[in-house]
Amino acid sequence: MNYIIFDLEATCWNGYTPDRTSEIIEIGAVKINGFGEVKGEYNRFVKPILHPILSPFCKELTHIEQGDVDKAKSFENVIDEFKDWIGVYDDENYLLCSWGRFDKTMLITDCQLHDLESEWCEEHINLKKHYREIRKLSKPIEKNHRQGRFRI
């Protein structure tokens, strides 16, 4: 079994923007086998189609420059490479893992946006949830970005 620990960056804006849909602009991942050995790394930028110009907020938050996404491949091409790297096409056993639900949701949403099947990314481990359970932590303090306040 390979564990694919991945992290996504997506288009974003400062404040609530109901008229804008976020898209993946970067996929980073590490492949780890059942013994905890790193078997590979993956990192690609993705060219957004709905809002191809990154907001100043997005560039500052992600440290991704406009030129990075301008010269990137389309989501369809990058996700095909990613699936190949994971081993989806070779029927390798894998499990996707990320810190929180956002990355899984974003991956499925972008597959739907581009009319691609998303069954390959449905099974997922939320590392944040499991870490909290293992460490017996109460709900962490999170910053409410809309109001600029902290909440429990």
pLDDT digits (tens, 9 = 90+) for 60-98: 999 999 999 999 999 999 999 999 999 999 988 999 999
DSSP 19-30: T----EEEEEEE
Task: Over range 7-19, report the average pLDDT.
Answer: 90
Per DSSP bridges, beta strands 2-10 and 94-98 are parallel
| Tens digit of each residue's pLDDT (9 = 90 or more) over 31-45 | 999 999 999 999 999
End-to-end CA distance of the chain: give it in Å, rounded: 36
pLDDT value of position 141? 44
pLDDT for residue 131 = 87
Nearest to 49 by CA among 118, 121, 113, 115: 113
Q: Is the pLDDT of residue 144 over 50?
A: no
Looking at domain 2-151, what is its CATH homologous superfamily? Ribonuclease H-like superfamily/Ribonuclease H (3.30.420.10)
Look at the block and give the residue holding tokens 């804008």.
20
Helix (H, G, I), strand (E, B) or coil at 38: strand
Q: pLDDT tens digits for 92-138?
A: 899 999 999 999 999 999 999 999 999 999 999 999 998 888 888 88
All structural domains of the chain with their residue ranges:
2-151
Whether the pTM exceeds 0.75: the reply is yes
